[in-house]
Structure 1
Amino acid sequence: MPDMIEVQIDSVRVHLMTPQRVVVLKQLDSERYLPIWVGPYEAEAITVALQEVEMIRPLTHDLLKNVFNVFNARILRVEIVKLQEEIFYGNIAIQVDGRELNVDSRPSDAIAIAVRAHVPILVNPDVMDEAGIIPERDLPEESTPAGEGASAPLSEEGSERLSVFEDFVGKLDLDKLDKDKPDEDSSTKPKPDKPKPTKPDKPDKPDKPKSPRPKKK
């Protein structure tokens, strides 16, 4: 595999008209960006970790990180290794007993783990060449450079791909996120509705034969 490209999370964005989210990764040594569409829950999980918000109970990616720690599996890095038929493929590299192992993963889950474990995010150069977005080269001096939660002006193609998205970081209702996922051990766990008994269908009655009417004399 060729030398991987290290990236950082530039921003998390939300579609203006649909629930779609996108994580924008920026190449460290270049003004090149890689947008990856993710699910709403994964976007929230990444954003919560970026903001270093402490949840009352561990979320799924917190739990997974804790499982790695319990089994003495050291998280080394996460990778985006392939783009096939518009689907990104990710990988979590871990070390167990001196051996390096690779865990197949969706990029969204891998990124959520990377933020929590503070490990590098690497991208295959072929993926970056195919799906990366390069900003306009000639930028005015007064333009604001890209940073955390901001983006540099993009090329026309890049602008079209991200024009319907806005920044997602800071727009989460964190209290609602924490309350929407009740603890399974909690006594307030909702009880399932009891199914209502249904009456058996009545068999169709056969039509009675009609007796002929007597003719009038």
Structure 2
Amino acid sequence: MFIEMSVKGLTLDPLTNMPIVILKDLEDKRVLPIWIGLFEANAIALELEKITTPRPMTHDLMRDVIAGLNARVIKVVVNDLKNNTFYAVIHLNSNGNQIVIDSRPSDAIALALRSGAPIYVSAEVVNKAKSIDMTKESEDTDQLKEWLENLKPEDFGKYQM
């Protein structure tokens, strides 16, 4: 089973200052935080804010190459969680053929936003993520979990690099 989600915003982990993309299901019942890199966070932030760059960024290039090959992004799926690492796939349609490409979730999400494609997360990943060790060796795990559980939409604001 897959749950459709949307990007609710970007925030910074208060302990590590690493960017986190926040996915939320369409019924506002489940939230999935995914830690991502700075470059991917910047790509997602640019698209969320509808900021255009003078030259295509990497995810714009991906979208344009896919379109140039007469293909389109059908959906992206965050499909696994192993050893605190999320995995995703990008589903393309090319001349009636479906192609599935392995991807980091951050790249898949950035491409989905640019392509207008839906974002799905497997129910198994959502369940696994509830028990994820978000800080590995940090003693502040409970503090971080509490902070994530209490995030409000106004906490997202504009993401600054």
Same fold (TM over 0.5): yes
Identical pairs, percent: 36
Q: Aligned-pair distance for 1:51?
A: 0.6
Q: Which residue of 1 aligns with 2:160?
A: 172
Partner of 2:65: 67
The structure where strand makes up a greater share of residues is: 2
Q: 1:167 to 1:38 in 2, by over 3 A?
A: farther
Aligned position for 2:145:
158
8 A Cα contact 1:14 1:168, kept in partner: no
Match of 1:77 in 2: 75
In structure 2, the residue matched to 1:92 is 90
Which has the greater radius of gyration?
A: 1
Aligned length: 149
Query: What's the TM-score, normalizing by structure 1?
Result: 0.62
Equivalent pair of 2:21/2:41 in contact (CA under 8 Å): yes
Alpha-carbon distance in 1 for matches of 2:145, 2:156: 18
Task: State the alpha-carbon separation in 1 of the partners of residues 24 and 73 from structure 2.
Answer: 22
Whether 2:22 is the aligned partner of 1:24: answer yes
Unaligned 5+ runs, structure 1: 134-154, 174-217
Structure that is richer in helix per residue: 2
Structure 1: how far apart are the matches of 2:29 and 2:118?
A: 18
Q: What one-letter code is carried by the residue in structure 2 that aligns with 1:24?
A: I
- Where in structure 2 are the equivalents of 1:46-57 lying within 5 Å? 46-57=44-55
Note the aligned Cα RMSD (angstroms). 2.6
Runs of 4+ deviating beyond 4 Å: 160-163, 166-169
Give the C-alpha shift of residue 85 in structure 1. Answer: 1.1
Using the size of structure 2 for normalisation, the TM-score is: 0.83
Residues 5-62 of structure 1 show CA distances to partners (whole Å, capped at 9, x for unaligned) of 0001112001345441111110112411000000011001001001111111111100
CA pair 18-30 structure 1, distance change in 2 beyond 3 A = closer
